[in-house]
A and B are shown apart, each in its own frame.
Chain A
């Protein structure tokens, strides 16, 4: 039997993202040279939401012009141990990433291997001045020396549990009426 427990609801996610947006601006002492790169699938919608919040806090920012998507599929270290993954598009903002402050955005930070792949992918695309990392959930169990600069919620978990992030841009609840928005983080544990 699978036990599910909601740890963040829609309002919690929204508050966490608002705080992260302000933290990003604070750490960068403003919005200059900021580029937000979301990692598919769920990092990208989070990056779009963060960009909108940054633009709301700083009217000089054009949200669409600072957000991009970074696919890391081809840089993973587990390609030969998993079913074939089709790559997602990589789209950089028009300004590129050279000499920019790139903030990587993902939904869950776990082993750190996705971020390792993302760092490799970034280096092949250009040379940012600084790379930072923002995640919605940090669930621990790191396998590499990687940490996040901005965390929505630290979630101590057992590695037998699963953390699922459901966003209205990418997911819908099974059995819910079509188009019902979902914005929550749940922990699934097998009892």
Chain B
């Protein structure tokens, strides 16, 4: 793994590896010294072209727990507002010696552009691009589900996938990068996903996604759900009439008190309620549902730090990154016989 750009092309092996590593990272948060020296001397740049609190803070906490140096770059108040291009920004960061760039951008595909060009020789982590993908959010959601799922099964979560878990994702799928990343990752992990949304908030071509689509939340709940994920109604992207009123949306698509009670009457005592945050209480999720014991909202935030530590560690440690200015002969011999150079199975 060189970059973490999307969950669509993430293999099952890599996904499980990130989740398992995050499991060990989570243990660090419970220790006396909540810090590991693994990324000492590495620089992580948080490059945020779009507002974000929790994702940026989560990445910052993750990098700092691994002893990396963190530079926060917000487009507001920077040279970007003077018209600097992504290329120039990237080359500036490269000149400062960034080892990893965590990028959030309003344009879908911006992280791919950064990773595919030679503007900067750093690991690129997609922290949300437009309405495309948000892979670390999907990974932390999967991590939260896997812990719940293996606790129910009474098995250790390390190495496990999500085979047989029924996940419903409800709300604004059209604008949601969280929904896209989740659909692809959960498919890879073997869960059954159902998207629930008003037809106006579903993207064109959703019928080709590896998931079921429903227009009726109550019907989906009645069929049985193990994890119910509510998506945020993105007021900043509501530039057309997607639904008549917020009141109607809340009644038909929101997780309100009636639906919370319905979970009990349907016998779904182990169903968890998830939300990527920030929540619009009273719109897509009621306060009672958000604060109920079923809610995993705070666990998701906690797990987010572990997942991001795992991603940073797996991308930044190790010599799988080609040295930029290695002499030709040295890199040729290492390409010819990688086993000779790196056979450290036994290093004492």
User: What separation, in Å, do the CA atoms of A79 and B319 have in the docked complex?
Assistant: 8
Taking CB atoms, residues of chain A closer than 8 Å to B158 are: 89
Given known contacts A83-B318, A89-B24, A125-B31, is B348 in contact with A74 (CB within 8 Å)? Answer: no
Q: Are B318 and A82 in contact (CB under 8 A)?
A: yes
**Interface residues of B: mostly helix, strand, loop or mixed?**
loop
Q: Are B317 and A75 in contact (CB under 8 A)?
A: no
User: What separation, in Å, do the CA atoms of A81 and B27 have in the docked complex?
Assistant: 25
Q: Are A84 and B317 in contact (CB under 8 A)?
A: yes
User: What separation, in Å, do the CA atoms of A111 and B21 have in the docked complex?
Assistant: 27
Q: Are A80 and B348 in contact (CB under 8 A)?
A: no
Assess whether A108 is interfacial by the CB under 8 Å rule.
yes
Closest B residue, CB atoms, query A109: B348
Given known contacts A71-B24, A74-B36, is B318 in contact with A79 (CB within 8 Å)? Answer: yes
Q: Are A106 and B348 in contact (CB under 8 A)?
A: yes
Considering only CB atoms and an 8 Å cut-off, how many residues of chain A contact the other chain? 34
B58: shortest Cβ distance to chain A, in Å? 19
Assess whether B314 is interfacial by the CB under 8 Å rule.
yes
Q: Are B346 and A90 in contact (CB under 8 A)?
A: no
List which A99-115 residues lie within 8 A (CB) of chain B.
106-111, 113-114
Q: Are A83 and B24 in contact (CB under 8 A)?
A: no
Assess whether A132 is interfacial by the CB under 8 Å rule.
no
Considering only CB atoms and an 8 Å cut-off, how many residues of chain B contact the other chain? 27
User: What separation, in Å, do the CA atoms of A87 and B344 have in the docked complex?
Assistant: 15
Assess whether B239 is interfacial by the CB under 8 Å rule.
no
B123: shortest Cβ distance to chain A, in Å? 12
A97: shortest Cβ distance to chain B, in Å? 10
Tally of contacts, chain A with chain B, CB under 8 A: 81
Q: Are A124 and B347 in contact (CB under 8 A)?
A: no
User: What separation, in Å, do the CA atoms of A16 and B257 have in the docked complex?
Assistant: 66
List which B299-348 residues lie within 8 A (CB) of chain A.
313-314, 317-320, 342, 344, 346-348
Q: Are A86 and B17 in contact (CB under 8 A)?
A: yes
Contact of A86 among B21, B37, B66 (CB under 8 A): B21
Q: Are B35 and A80 in contact (CB under 8 A)?
A: no
Assess whether A93 is interfacial by the CB under 8 Å rule.
no
Closest B residue, CB atoms, query A88: B24
Assess whether A164 is interfacial by the CB under 8 Å rule.
yes
Assess whether B38 is interfacial by the CB under 8 Å rule.
yes
Assess whether A126 is interfacial by the CB under 8 Å rule.
yes
Given known contacts A87-B24, A90-B27, A114-B348, is B36 in contact with A82 (CB within 8 Å)? Answer: no
Q: Are A79 and B344 in contact (CB under 8 A)?
A: no
B65: shortest Cβ distance to chain A, in Å? 10
Question: Which of A81, A82, A163 is packed against the most chain B CB atoms within 10 Å?
Answer: A82
Name 27 interchain pairs, CB-CB below 8 A, sorted by A. A74-B37, A74-B38, A75-B36, A78-B347, A80-B317, A80-B319, A81-B319, A82-B318, A82-B342, A83-B319, A83-B342, A84-B317, A86-B24, A87-B21, A87-B24, A88-B24, A89-B24, A89-B158, A108-B346, A110-B347, A110-B348, A111-B348, A114-B347, A114-B348, A124-B32, A139-B348, A163-B346
- CB-based closest 6 A-B pairs: A84-B318, A110-B348, A124-B33, A74-B38, A74-B36, A87-B24
Residues of B within 8 A of A (CB): 17, 20-21, 23-25, 27, 31-33, 35-38, 66, 158, 313-314, 317-320, 342, 344, 346-348
Known: A87-B21, A164-B346. 12 other contacts (CB 8 A): A71-B24, A74-B37, A75-B36, A79-B318, A82-B344, A84-B313, A86-B20, A86-B24, A86-B314, A88-B24, A111-B347, A113-B348
